Amino acid sequence: MNLGLGGMSASRGQADEEFFGSVYDQKVILRLLPYIKPFTPLVIASFASMLIYTFTLVAVPWLIHWGIDNPIKDGLQTATDYKASVNQAGEETNLAQLKELLSPHIKILNILFVVFIINAFTNWGTNYLQQYAMQKVGQGVLYRLRRALFGHVQKQSLSYFDKTEVGRLMSRVQGDVGQLQEFAALVVMSLGELLSLVGIVIALLVMDLELGLITMGVLPVLMIITVIWQKYAKKAFSEIRRRIAIVNAAFNENISGVRVVQSLNRQERNLEIFDEKNTAHRWSNVIAGRYAAGLLPAVDILTAVAIGLALYFGSKLVGLDEGQLLPGVLVAFVMYVQRFFDPIRNLTQQYTQLQRSMASGARIFDLMDREPELVDIDDAIEMPEIKGNVEFKNVSFRYVEGEDVLKGINLTVNAGETVAVVGPTGAGKTSIVSILSRFYPVKRDEGEILIDGIDIRDVKRASVVGQMSMVLQEPYLFSGTVMGNIKYNHVDVTDEKAISSAKVVGAHEFIMQLEGGYDTFLSERGANISLGQRQLISFARAIVDDPKILILDEATASIDSHTELVIQTALRKLLEGRTAIVIAHRLSTIRGADKIVVLESGEVVEEGNHRELMDKDGLYAHLYNMNFQSIEDL
C-alpha cells in the first residue's frame, strides 16, 4: 500500500511541476497581501519610482524631437533669413552679429542639454530605487513565507509525512517560495513595461496620427508570432521543470541508498540510467533554448520593418512648411519604434515567469491550507504532573481507511512499571507507542488513551509529551555539539545535568575521548561517530529532563552486544520509578520487564511475565523459541 501511495504522490508531484497556472490568480494575490502589507511604504516608493523611471524613458525621444524642431530648426531659419538679407543688401556676413542672432537658440539648446543630464540621472536614480525597494520587499516576503511554511509543516502529523516525499516539501519551501519571491518585482517591471508601451503609443499618435498608424501596422503580425511562440515555449519550459525533477529524484535516491548501491556494485548501471535522464534534461533545455532564441530575431525583424515603414512614408511627408512632417518628429519616430518593441519582448518573456509565480503561489497556499490532523481541542487543558499510569481502553487505529492496525486494544500500565510489547512484524507494536505519543490521532469513537485517568486528547499535546520521552531504533542526531544534542529540547538544563545523564547511560567515557569532549561538533545525523555511540547519546537526550514515561521503540536493535550490556546495566537504574513501555527483540530487555504484552494482527493475544507466558506455550513461547532463544545462545 505504501508503494501505491508513493506512486500516487510522485505522479501528483510531477503533475504539480508541469502546472504553470494563469498570469493572474486573484486567490494567490489576496493571500499574498498580508505578507506584503508590512512593506507598504517600500511598495509605494517602488511604484512611484517606476512611474518616474518610465516617464524619463519615454521623454528622451520627445526631447530630441523638440530640440530638432524648435531651437535647431528656428536657429537654421534665423541663419537662413540673415544670409538672405545680407546677400540682398550686398553686405558681407558678420559672424558676431550672426552669433548674437543665434544666441537665444543656443541658450535653449544648453538648457536642453542640462535637462538631458537631469533626465539621465533621474532615470538612473529611480531605476536603482525601484529595484532596491522591490528586492527588500521580495526578500521580506520570502523570509515571512518560509517561516510561516516551516511552522505549518511542523504542525502536520506523521501521517502527512508518511505520504509526502521530502523532495516535494523542499520544493515548496525552497523552489516555490523562491519563485514567488520574484513576483512583486515582476509585477512592477511588467507594469513599467506596459506604461512605457502606452506612453510610446500615445507619443507616436500625438506627434503624427497617420504615420503612427502606419508604423503600428506590424502589431497584428507580432501578436500572431507571440501567441504561437507562447504555445510551444510553455510546453518546452514545462518539460525542463519536469525533467530536472526526474534528475533530482534519481540523484537523491542513489545518494540516499549509496550503501546498497556500493554493496551490490551497481555504480556503472546507475550511471547509465542517470545519463539517460540527464541527457533528456539537456535536450529539453536545448529545445527551450531554440524557442527562446527564435523570438528575439523575429522581434528584431519586425522592429526593422517598422523603422523602414516610418522612414519610407515619413521621408515623403517630411518638410519645414506648415502641415508637413517635421524632421525632429521623424527622428523621434525611429527612436520610439526601436523602444516600442523592447517592452513587448520583455513582457513576452515575463509572461511565462508570471505563470510560474502564480502556480508556485497556488501550491504554497494549498499546503498552508492543509489542516493538521493533530490539533488541540479549543478547551484543552495543561496536563498535570504525570504519575505514570497508562491505560488503553478499547482502542482501534488505522493509517488507511479499511485497514485496521489496532483492534480494540485494552492495556493497563501501572506507574513505575516496565511493560514489554512483543509480536511478529506488522502486529502493531510501534503503532501503540505512536498513538500514545500523539504522533497520530485516535478518533473519539474508537477508544480512549488515558494517562493518570485523563484522556490525552483533552490536554495540550505539548504538556503531555513534554513529560514523556522516546528512543527510536534509528538514532537521529543533529549537526551541532554533543552537549547541544543531549540538551536538544531542554536547553535550560545545566551542563552538569547533561553530563550526569550521559554517565547514567554509559556515554560519558567515550564522549570524553572525543577530540572536543562535549563540545565536539557532530556532522549531520552524527555520521562522524559510530551507530552505538549515537544511540547512547540518544539515551542521554531522552532522560536529561527526567521524563515520567519512557518509551523505547527497538532502541537496542541497532547496537552491538557490548553497547547493549552498557545500556542494560544503566536501564536497571534508569527505569526505577518510571513508567516504561519497551518494544524489543532482545531477550535481556524483555525478560526483565514486569509485564509482557503479546500482539498479533493488532490485538492483544497474551499478557503476563516471561515465565507465565512460557508456561502457556502460546505465541510468545513460539516467538521466543524461534527468535529470542537463538539470540540468547549467541
Model confidence at 117: pLDDT above 90: yes
pLDDT digits (tens, 9 = 90+) for 583-630: 876 665 677 788 999 998 889 999 988 888 888 888 888 887 776 554
Q: What is the pLDDT of residue 52?
A: 92
**Segment (H or E) for 562:** helix 561-574
CB atoms inside a 10 Å sphere around CB 256: 11
Does residue 579 register a pLDDT over 80? yes
Sequence-ordered alpha helix ranges (H) in 257-326: 258-263, 267-317
Interacting residues of 285 by C-beta distance below 8 A, sequence separation 6+: 240
State the average pLDDT for the chain: 79
Q: Which fold has domain 390-633?
A: Rossmann fold (3.40.50)
pLDDT of 30-56, one tens digit each? 877 888 888 889 888 988 998 898 889
Q: What is the 3-state secondary structure (H, E, C) of 369-406?
A: CCCCCCCCCCCCECCCCCCCCEEEEEEEEEEECCEEEE
The three three-digit cell numbers of residue 43, written as one number:
511598495
Alpha-carbon distance of 436 to 273, in angstroms, equals 44
What DSSP string runs through 44-79? HHHHHHHHHHHHHHHHHHHHHHHHIIIIIHHHHHHH
Instruction: Report the pLDDT averaged over residues 186-202.
Output: 79
β-strand partners of 607: 597
Specify the pLDDT at position 16. Answer: 45
In this prediction, residue 185 carries a pLDDT of 64
Cα gap 429→485, rounded to integer Å:
27
Residue 442, sorted as left (phi over 0), alpha (psi -120 to 50) or beta, turns out to be: beta
Which distant-in-sequence residues (6+ apart) come within 8 Å of 186 by Cβ? 350, 353, 354, 357
pLDDT class for 208, splitting at 50, 70, 90?
A: confident
Q: Where are the domains of the chain?
A: 21-368, 390-633
Q: In which order are the strands placed within the sheet that holds 468-471?
A: 468-471, 549-553, 579-583, 418-422, 595-600, 603-608
Spell out the residues 6+ positions from residue 289 whose beta carbon is closer than 8 angstroms to its own. none
Are 36 and 184 within 8 A, CB to CB? Answer: yes
* Average of per-residue pLDDT across 57-78: 82
| pLDDT at residue 542 tops 70 | yes
Question: Which residues, listed in sequence order, are joined to residue 392 by a DSSP beta bridge?
Answer: 411, 449
Pick the CATH number of 21-368 from 3.20.20.210, 3.40.50.2300, 1.20.1560.10, 3.20.20.150: 1.20.1560.10
If we measure between CA atoms, which residue out of 519, 172, 194, 188 comes closest to residue 366? Answer: 172
Give the pTM.
0.64
User: Quick check: 578 pLDDT over 70?
Assistant: yes
Backbone angles phi, psi at 480, to 5 degrees: 155, -175
Looking at per-residue pLDDT, the higher value among 312 and 352 belongs to 312
pLDDT digits (tens, 9 = 90+) for 121-179: 999 999 899 888 888 887 888 888 888 888 877 777 676 676 666 656 666 666 677 66
Which helix (H) or strand (E) covers residue 214, if one does? helix 209-215
Residues forming a β-bridge with 409: 395
CA distances from 279 to 267, 275, 454, 556, 600 (A): 18, 6, 60, 45, 50
Q: What is the pLDDT of residue 1?
A: 32
Cβ atoms of residues 141 and 181 within 8 Å: yes
Q: What is the pLDDT of residue 10?
A: 40
Using alpha carbons, list the distances in angstroms from residue 413 to 224, 277, 589, 605: 76, 54, 17, 16
User: With 0-12 CB in 10 A as exposed, 13-18 as middle and 19+ as buried, what is 446?
Assistant: middle
Q: What are phi and psi of 580, to 5 degrees?
A: -130, 135
Residue for grid cell 497584428: 220
- Work out the number of other CB atoms within 10 angstroms of the CB of residue 57: 20
